[in-house]
Structures are given as structure tokens and as C-alpha cells.
Amino acid sequence: MNKQQMLKGIQDQDERLLFAKVLDQVAFAMKRNELQFTDFMDAAKCGRCLERLKNNTDLDVLSFGGVEEAERLKLGFAPMQGMISYGQFPITALHIAPKSKKFGQTDLSHRDYLGSILGLGIERGKVGDILVSQDGAVCFVNEEMADYIQMNLDKVSKTTVTVIRLDKAEVLAPKRTEIRRQTVASMRLDAVLGEALRLSRGKAQALISSEKVNVNWSVVTNTSYILKTSDMVSARGFGRFRVGEVGGRTKKDRIALELEMYI
């Protein structure tokens, strides 16, 4: 494996540094004949790393973020095919929840949870997806950070919280989805997002403009971005869906559309 040759052509310096670290871990896995894992990275960067490694037939490479369809992923490397599985990834799922829900209390957001965790002095790469729900959030973290977070995270924003570990088998259970059939004015991101998540067009546009919407795990800020079949769309704090079959026009000149909603 020629490291310099593989780094050639990567213009973005941050991504070049990231891939250089990935190659170092690949070399270590091959030399020591043992598994190696990266920190968490966004799925778009992870995909580009996988693409660059695809011709290395001696290497077993797997990506995983702790749960199906994760948006932040780790890469795992093994020196032989078939040596690595999802269960071997050093990822711990923590459930973080308010101790009590007071009347009128503002719901905690993804930013609140992430800010409080990083406020403990933890690097961003040690934290994966944070799935916010009405009863708290499930946060995926590097295994070696779990005890530290449990012992030290007692507040998110100004809210007192409890932190417990979740059983891996429970977390790895497949996500439930439902098929919803809708009609949309167009395949523009703001139009589909609004219909899918039952948001006003203005609210959907605001989420997109504020960098809270991902398409195929990359942030998209263009409200007129055209979606296509199989695109995965997520809006932070609101949910996610996959674009299904795109049908024809209705009598009211709207597009018939299938959406796979994650519930």
C-alpha cells in the first residue's frame, strides 16, 4: 500500500489528514494482525474513505455507527476477510434523560446534548449519533468514554439528567419503518421535507438554511435541491425518511410519492 499515492489528489486538507490517519490504522492492522477502529466521522467522509480503500483485497473493512442508518460512523479494519463484525465495534449506547419533566420546560435539542457532552472536554470524534426523543436521547460514544460520561454528565443545558448504558442487543434491533404515500408539489427538498415531516414550507426552508438537514448524510442548504428515489433525508430533531417510488402526476398536477418513514 503506497500511502503517498493514495493521498494524491485529495485537495481538502482536513480530509487529507483524516485519510492519512485511516491509512496509518490500516497499516497497523495489517502489521499487527489485529482489529483497528477509527473515531466517528460523518457518513459522507466515511463513504469516500471506503471508495479509496476498495481495491485493497487483503483488507476487511466495515463501517458502523452503533445503529442501522447511522449518520456518524466508525471504520473497522481487519487483516483478513470475514474477521470483523458489527458487534466488535467499540461503541457504547447511553440513554440520557431528564430526571423530571417540569411543566412548561423547554425540550432539550440535539445541540443541547452534544454541547453538554463536548463541554466535558470530549473530542467530537468520540461521539456518534445522538437520537433525540420525547423521553431523552440515545447517544453513541467511543466505548472508553462511556464511564467518564456516566460519572460526569449530570446536566444538559440547565436540566438535571441521568445517564445509563443500554444493552447492545436492544440498540441493534432493526429500526421500524412505515410506508407513507403522499403527493407533493415538486421533488424540491423543501417541498418533500415539509410534506414528509408535516412542517410548513417556511419551517422546512428554515431548517435547510440553518444546516440541519442532510441528504445521504451530507448537509444540504439549497432549498431547491431535487430529490430522487433512494435518497435518505434527515432533519435534526424531527426525524428521517427515505424517498421511495416516484409516481406520475395527479389530476391536481401533484407528484405521487412513496416515503419510507423511520419511526
Residue 94 in this model has a pLDDT that exceeds 90 = yes
Q: Give the predicted TM-score (pTM) of the model.
A: 0.68
Pair 41, 18: CB distance under 8 Å: yes
- Residue 104 pLDDT class (50, 70, 90 cuts): very low
pLDDT at 135 over 90: no
For the segment 118-132, the average pLDDT, to the nearest whole number, is 94
Banded model confidence at residue 230, pLDDT cuts 50, 70, 90: confident
Please say if the pLDDT value at position 99 is more than 70: yes
Q: Which domains does the chain have, with CATH numbers?
A: 3-88 (3.30.1370.160), 91-171 (3.30.70.330), 177-262 (3.10.290.10)
| SS3 of residue 122 by DSSP | coil
- Kindly state the average pLDDT of the residues 79-88: 80
> 106 falls in which pLDDT band (50, 70, 90)?
low
Q: Is the pLDDT of residue 173 over 60?
A: no
